[in-house]
Structure 1
C-alpha cells in the first residue's frame, strides 16, 4: 500500500498547490420522504411496490450525491441511502447469516443482531450497483464504505465457527471478493469500517490479519482507508501502523483532540483522515473553528498526508446541520491550503503555527 494515490482525487479546477482531500465517512441524513416511502413499502396494504421503492432510493441517492457536490467535497458518497444498519445490510447479503428478531442492546434500543448459522459464502455483489449508480450521478470520485469483517463477526452471534477469529478471516475473504468487483467497476477509494475495534482494542492483531486478506491482489492505485470510531486509541497505536492501508480515519473532534498526542510518537507514517467536525453535536462549527481543527492534524502529519472529514457518519444529525458542517469543512480546507501556499503556516510536526511576519 502507498499513500501516494491520493492525488488522483484532486479536481482539475483545484486552484491551490496544496491539496487537503475532503470527503465524508459514509452515512448521511436520509430525506424524510425516503423514510415515509419505506413505511409505505413495508405496509402490505399500501400501493407501493418494489419498483416504487427502488425509484425512491435512486432519487434519494441523487439528491444526497448532489448535496455533497454542492458542499464542494472532493470525494462523495451517496450517504448510504440504500442501507439500513451497518451490519444488518451486509448480513442480509451474505450466505450463512440468518435473523431471529431484535436484541435489546441498551435502554429501549434494539438491534436486529444476526446469527452465523453455516459457512459464510459470497454469492452476488453487495455494492457494485450502488457504486455504479452513484458514479453515474456524479462527476466526482466516489468512495465506497464497507463494514469490516471484524465488526461483522463481533456484532453477530457465531453459531458455526470455532471462534470469532476464524469467522473474521472467512468474512475478510468475502470482502476481498467484493472489492475486486468494485475495482472492476471503476472504484478507486474503499473504506473499511471497523467500529468494533474501538470497543475491543486488544483485538487489533486479528483486524490487521483480516486486512491482509482484504487487500490481497488489490491494485496499488486503489486507496484503502480504515475508519475506527472513538475509543482509547493508545491501545491500538502504534500497532495499527503495520496495517496494510493507506489512510486511517479517526474520530478525534468528539474528544476535543485530547488523544492527539497519541499519534505523535512514533511518527504517523500513514495518511490521517482527521475528524474536524463533531458528528454528535447538532450545531454547525464555524469555518474558523474547523480551520483550527485542521491545524491540529498538521501537528501529526504534513499536509500531503492529511485528509479532512467529519468525525463519523452524520446520519443522526438534522440534514441542514450535516450540510452546513460539510460546506464549512470544505471552505476551511481550501483556506488552509491557501495559507500553506502563501507560507502563512509553519508546519512542524508537533505544532502548526502562524508563520512569522
Structure 2
C-alpha cells in the first residue's frame, strides 16, 4: 500500500505579497497587462517548484487567481452580467466585475450604472465560514452561457511545459450554482447548460494530458436541499465520462448525512476534511467503495498550529495498511500564511508551536515517509513534533488565574442594558440631538502612503515616539476638520494609529502574538495578518481612550469611540485549539467591556463595537448554528451592556447573508447597526423589515471595495429603496464599510455626495409631512 501527498491549493499572494503589489500597480496604470501576467506566471512557477521540493506528489494548477477563484469560474462559464457589456471577457471586464469601473463607459444603461457611466462591482460575500471574500455569481434571464476563458487548461499546459504534472482545480458545478444569484430565475434551471460547459472543459483537459481533476464541492458539508441532491447525481453522472478521473473534494466540515449520496457518485477519488470532522473517518471507510482513492485532510489548512505527527500516525497507520491513500491539508492552504521562515521577530517559544503553508506541506511529507518507510525513518522529526505539542499544552503562558477568576464572576445582569431600546432611544436623542437620516462613517479614513510610511519608519526606529504621535495627531485633526466642513453628523477620529482593526487591539491585549509577514488573502489585493491567540486574554491598560479624548477635544460634534468586537477579534485571529472558541471569546469580551466603560467614563456618548465577522463564524449546518449564536451574542452583550441608557451603542456588520440570523442580531440589543447594502441594492433590508427589526439601521450607500465614486442621485435612490422597507426615523446614511483602503480623492467627493443625499432625503420627508398636514386639513 502506498501513501502520497497532495496539496489542494497554495497561497496565491506570494511570500512577500508580490501579487498584491503587482495588481495595485496595474490598477494604477503604472504597469502593463503583460507585466502583471508575467508576475503571475512567476508566482505560479515558484509555487509549483516549492511544493514539489517539499515532497508533494500531487500539485494543484488553477488554484492561482488574479482576484477570486469563484469569479474565475463565472468568467469561465461566460456568466457575465449585461452591465459589463458583450464580447470577449478580457482583464478589463474581469476586474470590472471584481471592482466596478470608474470611467465614463458608454452604452451601459443599467440600474447598476450611475449617470456618469461607471458600473458597480459584483456582490462580495464570505466564502463559507472563512474570512475570504468571493464575488457572487450572477445569472440573468435570457443570458446564454458559453465558455469565456480556458484559464484552467492554459495553466495546466503552462505547468506541464515547465515539467510539472498537476491536478487542475475546478470549482464544482453544484457549489457554483448554489452560490449564484439568479435575477428572477432559479440558477439550477441552468444546470444542464452549465454541465455542458464543464464537460467541454474536462474534454480539453483530457486532450491536454491531464489524468486527474480536483473538483471542489464544499457545498457537500452543508444541509442540502432536494434540488441540490438531484443536481449532484445528475452532475457527476454527466461529468464522469470525459476522459479524466475526478477527485471530488470536500472541506470545512463533515459529509454526515450526505455521505451515502457521495458514495454513489461515479467519481474516482474523494477528499474529506478530518480536521473539522475527524469523526467521519470510520463512516467514510465503511461506506465509500474500496476502489475509490481516498484523500484524507489531516493537516489543518485554516489554522497555524504545528501538528502532533505521532498522534496523526496512530490514526493513519491502520488505514494505510489496508489501502492506498493520499494525505493532504484539510482544505486549500489559501487560508494560512506562506512560510514561517519569514518571521524573524516572532516570540521564539510561540514560533516553535507554529506551521505555515510551507511547513504544513513538509509535515505531510514527513507523515508519508513514516507511513511508507516506518517511523524510524523520521524519528527526529517525530520527536521534535511531540516536544512542541507537549510544550504548548503545558506552557504557563497559556493559563492566567486572574482571567479565570473574572470569568467565574460574570453575572446575568452584566449582559443586560438597564432599559428597553425605545426608552434608550429617547435618552440618546436628547443627548445627541441628531437630525433625521443622520450621517456618519464606519470608522477608518484612508491609510495614505504618508500614514503607512510614518508607521513603517516608527516600527524601524527611524521615527521616535514623540514625532510619530505628533504626526498622528495632525492627521486626526485634519480628519476632524474635514468632517466638520463636509457636514457629517457623527464623526470618527480616523484610526490613523491603527494598522488593522483586529491586530491593533490584539497587540495591546495579553495572550496574543504578532507576526511581521504572515499575510493571508482576504479578497483581491487585500491581505491581512491575523493575530495568533495562544493564551488567556486580558487588557493591561486602556487602548483607545486617549485617541478618542484628543479627537473629541477638537469638535463640538459627537465623535464615536471605535472598537472591534470580541467575536470579530476571535474569528479574524488564528485561535488556540486547546479550549472551546466560546471560552476564548468570553475572555476577549471582558477585555473589550473594560474599554467600553473607560470610554464612557471619559465622556464618549456613542461607541461602535464592530462585529463584522459575527455571521462568518456561523457553523455550516443549521443544527449547529444556535449554539454558536448563543455564545456569540452573549459575548457581545457582555462587552456592550454596562453603559448607561443615554450612551448609544453601534455595531457594524458587512458582506454576509444575515437573513437567517436576524433574531440573533436583534438579541445583540445594539442601538444602531450599519450593514453593507450598496452592491445588493438594499435587498438585505427586506429581511429586516419582515422581522420588524426594532432598532436603527445604517444601510450602506457607498461601496468602498470599489474605486468608483457614487453620486448624490444614486445614493438618494438607494435610500428611497430603503424607505420601502423601514421608517425614515430608523435610517442612518453611511458607507458600507471603513474607508482605510480608499484614497482621499475618492472618499471626499463620495462622502460629500452622501451628506448632500441625506439633506435631500430630509427635505423630501419634510415636504411629504407638510403635504400630509395640508391634505388632512382639507379633508
Please, what TM-score do these two structures have when normalized by structure 1? 0.88
1:214 to 639, 649, 658: 639
Question: Which digits, 9 at most, give the CA deviation of each residue in 1:170-220, with x for residues without a partner?
Answer: 111111111110001010111111122232344433221112211333101
Question: Which digits, 9 at most, give the CA deviation of each residue in 1:82-121, with x for residues without a partner?
Answer: 1111111000111121224543423776533222232211
CA distance in 2 between counterparts of 1:172 and 1:252 reads 28
SS at 2:536 equivalent: strand
Does the C-alpha gap of structure 1 residues 346 and 242 become closer, same or farther in structure 2, counting only changes over 3 Å?
farther
SS at 1:119 equivalent: coil
Moved more, 111-120 or 274-283: 111-120
Partner of 1:297: 722
C-alpha contact (below 8 Å) 2:476/2:496 kept by paired residues: yes
2:450 to 33, 46, 54: 33
Query: Aligned pair 1:252/2:677, yes or no?
Result: yes
C-alpha contact (below 8 Å) 2:538/2:590 kept by paired residues: no
Query: How far did residue 332 of structure 1 move?
Result: 0.8
Query: Aligned pair 1:111/2:528, yes or no?
Result: yes
Matches within 5 A, 1:15-54: 19-44=436-461, 46=462, 48-54=463-469
Partner of 1:306: 731
C-alpha contact (below 8 Å) 1:6/1:223 kept by paired residues: no
Partner of 1:270: 695
Matches within 5 A, 1:1-357: 1=421, 2-4=424-426, 5-6=428-429, 8-10=431-433, 19-44=436-461, 46=462, 48-106=463-521, 110-159=527-576, 162-201=579-618, 202=625, 203-343=628-768
C-alpha contact (below 8 Å) 2:677/2:701 kept by paired residues: yes
Q: Larger % of helix: which?
A: 2
Query: How far did residue 346 of structure 1 move?
Result: 9.5
C-alpha contact (below 8 Å) 2:542/2:598 kept by paired residues: yes
C-alpha contact (below 8 Å) 1:154/1:164 kept by paired residues: no
C-alpha contact (below 8 Å) 2:589/2:636 kept by paired residues: yes
Q: Number of aligned residue pairs: give it.
A: 339
C-alpha contact (below 8 Å) 1:148/1:193 kept by paired residues: yes
C-alpha contact (below 8 Å) 2:716/2:758 kept by paired residues: yes
C-alpha contact (below 8 Å) 2:512/2:533 kept by paired residues: yes
CA distance in 1 between counterparts of 2:765 and 2:482 reads 28
C-alpha contact (below 8 Å) 2:443/2:738 kept by paired residues: yes
CA distance in 2 between counterparts of 1:79 and 1:345 reads 38
Q: Larger relative contact order (C-alpha < 8 A, sep ≥ 6)?
A: 1
C-alpha contact (below 8 Å) 2:444/2:494 kept by paired residues: yes
Partner of 2:232: none
- Which consecutive segments of 4 or more residues in structure 1 shift more than 4 A? 107-110, 344-347
CA distance in 1 between counterparts of 2:765 and 2:741 reads 34
C-alpha contact (below 8 Å) 2:671/2:695 kept by paired residues: yes
SS at 1:278 equivalent: coil
Does the C-alpha gap of structure 1 residues 150 and 52 become closer, same or farther in structure 2, counting only changes over 3 Å?
same
Partner of 2:37: none
CA distance in 2 between counterparts of 1:19 and 1:87 reads 32
C-alpha contact (below 8 Å) 2:530/2:572 kept by paired residues: yes
CA distance in 1 between counterparts of 2:710 and 2:465 reads 40
Please, what TM-score do these two structures have when normalized by structure 2? 0.42
Q: Larger % of strand: which?
A: 1
Unaligned segments of structure 2, at least 5 residues: 1-420, 619-624, 773-779
C-alpha contact (below 8 Å) 1:119/1:160 kept by paired residues: no
CA distance in 2 between counterparts of 1:318 and 1:92 reads 26
C-alpha contact (below 8 Å) 2:517/2:529 kept by paired residues: yes
C-alpha contact (below 8 Å) 2:571/2:616 kept by paired residues: no
C-alpha contact (below 8 Å) 1:97/1:117 kept by paired residues: yes
Query: How far did residue 19 of structure 1 move?
Result: 1.6
Larger Rg: 2
